[in-house]
Amino acid sequence: MEVVALVSGGKDSCFAMMRCLDYGHKVVALANLIPLDDAVDELDSYMYQTVGHQIVVSYAKCMGLPLFRRRIRGSTRDQGLKYNVTAGDEVEDMFALLSEVKRQIPSISAVSSGAIASDYQRLRVESVCSRLGLVSLAYLWKQDQTLLLEEMMRRGIVAITVKVAAMGLKPSSHLGKELAELKCHLLQMNESYGINVCGEGGEYETLTLDCPLFRNARIILDDSEVILHSADSIASVGILHPLAFHLEHKPDSSDRIRVSADSQESSSLLYEVDEGIAHTDVEEKQTLSPAPTVDAYTNIDLCISKTGKNLLSIGCWIQDPSNASEGLKEDLVAVLSRIDNQLKEEGLGWVNVLYVHLYISSMKEFGLANEVYVSFITEKKCYLGVPSRSTIELPLVQAGLGKAYVEVLVSNELVKRVLHVQSISCWAPSCIGPYSQATLYGEILYMAGQLGLDPPTMKLCPGGPMAELELALQNSEAVASAFSCSIYYSAIHFLVYCSSHLTSDEREEVEQTLQSSYITRLDCSKTGSYPTVLYVFAPDLPKGALVEIKPILYVPTNNDEVATREMESGVPQPALSKAWSDWGAQYSDLHDSCCQIHIIGGRICSAVVSITSEIASKICSTAKQLDYSEEHLKVLARFCVFQLAKILVDNKFSWDSIKMLRFYYSVEHSVAADVMSHAFSVAFTVLAENNSSLQIDGVPPYNIVPVSGSGRSACMNDILTFELLASIV
């Protein structure tokens, strides 16, 4: 990609440009914002008075690139972490600056910035990039600052301190020093006082005098003065005010050029951006593109499911046994419109949605599906943060379910923490668009599906399914660490999507890799048991991946101990009638062999129940051969529902505590989804007749999901598998 780099004169923005080159991008322009002369923060504007701004302009000469510059007219009006477009805010000056760069250089498609740890800075750059249709590149984001500083020096960044404002840093001793000289002192101050060694907390600021990008010349500072702003005995504050400098041309260049404080700067590479702020075509398209309506698709037979109460799962699919679908777009519009209406009926909106499972009939139409998706789910509607998402291809048409199926996890409360990093970085794969890496609600972290993507290039890693799984685990851990948890000691449930094209040997290797790289490293000292693991096989995954993982993690509020619950008063607990207990007793020896259960503090329950052909044959033992007739399916469904009720009863969870309940079935046996759904409907209806705490009300409390295969092992292919998440949170 061709890149415009935001530069401030400091080390971070320069090194970020070097990282862009490392990953195959081409920096073609520089952009710089100048504080007002009467800026509130005198120190931040001092560098731009007299000589300071000329040094930044000289970067254009040193690199042989155009520099676009704009003086900030706005102020910090929107002080929230997440930026909302606000007239008169200084972010709008960045928007105007980059708009002009894009107008003059239309081939530019990305913006580089030196953000390391500041969400405030990153989110504002991402906001502007989103409005302009540009990609944000933040290759220093979340990098270890000690290693980052060492790499900057090793690769030839020569920068001096021009501001110090931290305990252990003295203007008289440390201003004007090269970072190489200060490295040991900065590391010591980090150990003693916890300062950020890269100055991310404002401890110090730098001015880059030379780096490998300066192919034409380096900057030589001839004269300067120290301005003491605060003589505090603990943490004095001061700046280095440049008075004169010159450019020393490198060996292949002409004689050096001398520039003093009163000389005229060259304007051949400098573009002043003074125009007002105007909306762009991209921004207007985003603003004026309303969600389609379902009015044109009233002939589509839509089905809805609903699980849970305060935190509920809503699913919507198309009952289409005759395969009369008009196409993916029409089906997805109809499904999302139906969910939109259901949310409104509940007094909710898309802002309440925590997670979206998007199932489509063909990954080849992912782009089309995404266009429809973003017309319904926008950042404006989801002002607390866009939901996390997982998208896979499923054999929907084969099961008679049209071409689109959506399940959303919804909260009645507007309380959630969303991690949405749109910048491409070395940290974890970016989420460019209205879907986030992870969403925390209560004590449960719902993570988007993670592929084996190399974060800085966003390409699938080579090496096959095992290599993809290893990298997907690393990416998941990076996301988990942002919430101060880990996939190795916080996991509740681990869903592994695999391509159905994997050979039997590859399936076995995937399971062995998960065992060696993940299961054996688990620390269950806090939770007491291993997380549940489920493998689901799909015809295709995003980007042609062979493996995708979707962890659900436990994030205790006190960060130390697993909280235990007291029994809720007045909440009806599930119970099994004598008739159901007697019926289930004949299969008591199958419970342990088919159930995986993980309980955390009596508050969270995850379970996977696996019905293999062998177990199914035992359940339907009266038949000579399992033939998947309606009669057999009803018996299997009743067995699954019995196991569900038993898990809830044994662990004292109510029906309302169910947050997610899916029944996966293999289409290998040529059973239509409506037939399978009817079998479960009968089983739940019979159970409800004997259990007053279970309310069906004509809406199924589960989702039926057709797959190419599923099981607790990658080598298994269950007839039925159910996945449960219940929580008293």
- What is the structure's pLDDT at 260? 34
Mean pLDDT within 360-382: 95
pLDDT category of residue 233 using cuts at 50, 70 and 90? low
User: In the block, which residue shows the tokens 């790499």?
Assistant: 151
Each residue's pLDDT tens digit, 422-436: 999 999 999 987 899
CA 379 to CA 722: how far, in whole Å? 33
Two structure tokens written together for 356: 């979206």
The model's confidence at residue 258, banded by pLDDT at 50, 70 and 90, is: very low
Burial 508-520 (b: 16+ CB within 10 A, else e): ebbbebbeeebbe
DSSP state letters, 173-221: HHTT-BHHHHHHHHHHHHHHH---TT-TTSSEEEEEEE-TT--SEEEEE
pLDDT at residue 588 greater than cutoff 70 = yes
Mind giving me the DSSP string for 570-587?
A: TPPPP---HHHHHHHHTT
Is residue 306's pLDDT more than 90? no
Q: Strands, E, within 420-473: which ranges?
A: 438-441, 444-447, 450-451, 453-454, 459-460
Mean pLDDT, range 158-187, rounded to an integer: 93
Looking at residues 128-141, what average pLDDT do you find? 96
Task: Work out the average pLDDT over 374-398.
Answer: 95
Buried b (16+ CB within 10 A) or exposed e, 371-387: ebbbbbbbbeebeebbb
pLDDT band of residue 55 (cuts 50, 70, 90) is confident
Instruction: Let me know: does 679 contact 633? Beta carbons within 8 Å.
Output: yes
Measured in Å, how far apart are the chain's first and last C-alpha atoms? 45
How many angstroms separate the CA atoms of 236 and 260, rounded?
30
The predicted pLDDT at position 680 comes to 93
* Average pLDDT score over residue span 330-341: 95
| Beta strand pairing call for 270-272 and 67-71 | parallel
Q: Give the model's confidence band at 263: pLDDT under 50 very low, under 70 low, under 90 confident, else very high.
A: very low
β-bridge partners, 68 = 31, 271
Give the residue-averaged pLDDT of 674-693: 85
* Greater pLDDT, 479 or 252: 479
Structure confidence at residue 623 (pLDDT): 56
Give the integer Cα–Cα distance in Å for 280 and 278: 6
Q: What is the pLDDT of residue 296?
A: 47
Q: Mean of the pLDDT values across residues 198-217?
A: 94
3-state secondary structure 334-355: HHHHHHHHHHHHCCCCHHHEEE
Q: In the predicted model, what is the mean pLDDT of residues 125-141?
A: 96
> How confident is the model over 597-620, as a mean pLDDT?
93
566: which 2 tokens?
């007291």
pLDDT at 168: 87
pLDDT at position 293, please? Answer: 57
- More confident of the two residues 624 and 416: 416
pLDDT recorded at residue 398: 93
Distance of CA 72 to the CA centre of its chain: 32
Q: Count CB neighbours of 197 within 10 A.
A: 24
Quick check: 314 pLDDT over 70?
A: yes
Mean pLDDT in residue range 396-412: 95
Residue 692 has pLDDT above 80, yes or no: no
| pLDDT tens per residue across span 107-128 | 999 999 999 998 999 999 999 9
pLDDT at 36 over 80: no
Confidence of residue 310 (pLDDT cuts 50, 70, 90): confident
Mean of the per-residue pLDDT values of the chain: 88
Q: How far apart are CA 558 and CA 567, in angstroms?
A: 20
Q: Provide the β-strand partners of residue 510.
A: none
The Cα-based distances of 75 to 16, 79, 91, 347 in angstroms read 26, 10, 8, 37
Burial class (CB in 10 A: 0-12, 13-18, 19+), 324: exposed
Residue 393 CA to residue 151 CA, distance in Å, equals 42
Nearest to 53 by CA among 207, 157, 200, 176: 207
> Of the given ranges (91-95, 530-534, 697-701, 725-729), which has the lowest mean pLDDT?
697-701
Nearest alpha carbon to residue 666 among 419, 428, 471, 500: 500
d(CA 24, CA 457): 9
654 with 693: CB under 8 angstroms? yes
- Least confident interval from 178-192, 239-253, 622-636, 669-683: 622-636
- Tokens 């676009």 label which residue? 68
Closest alpha carbon to 399 in 722, 677, 701: 677
266 has a pLDDT exceeding 60: no
With vertex at residue 45, the alpha carbon angle to CA 42 and CA 47, rounded to the nearest 5 degrees, is 120
CB atoms near residue 697 (< 10 Å): 8
**Confidence band, pLDDT 50/70/90 cuts, at residue 303:** confident
**What does pTM read for this prediction?**
0.90
Please give the residue that has the higher pLDDT: either 592 or 362.
362
Q: Which residues contact 268 (CB under 8 A, 6 or more apart)?
A: none
Beta-bridge partners for 446? 439, 552
pLDDT of residue 267: 52
3 state DSSP class of 151: helix
Angstrom CA distances, 524 to 122, 489, 606, stand at 35, 6, 15
pLDDT at residue 116, rounded to an integer? 95
Strand order of the β-sheet with 2-6 is 135-137, 108-112, 2-6, 26-34, 67-71, 270-272
Q: How many helices (H) does the chain have, and how many strands (E)? A: 19, 31
Q: State yes or no: pLDDT of 39 exceeds 50.
A: no
- What percent of the chain stands above pLDDT 90? 67
Residue 372 has pLDDT above 60, yes or no: yes
Q: 213-217, 383-387, 392-396, 629-633: which has the minimum mean pLDDT?
A: 629-633
The model's confidence at residue 262, banded by pLDDT at 50, 70 and 90, is: very low
CA atoms of 301 and 284, how far apart (whole Å): 35
Q: Is the pLDDT of residue 707 over 70?
A: yes
Of 203, 208, 205, the C-alpha closest to 187 is 203
- The torsion defined by the Cα of 452, 420, 130 and 102, in degrees rounded to 10, comes to -60
Is the pLDDT higher at 236 or at 662? Answer: 662
- Examine the pLDDT at 496 and tell me if it is beyond 90: yes
Evaluate if residue 635 carries a pLDDT over 50.
yes
| Residue 290 pLDDT grade (very low, low, confident, very high; cuts 50, 70, 90) | low
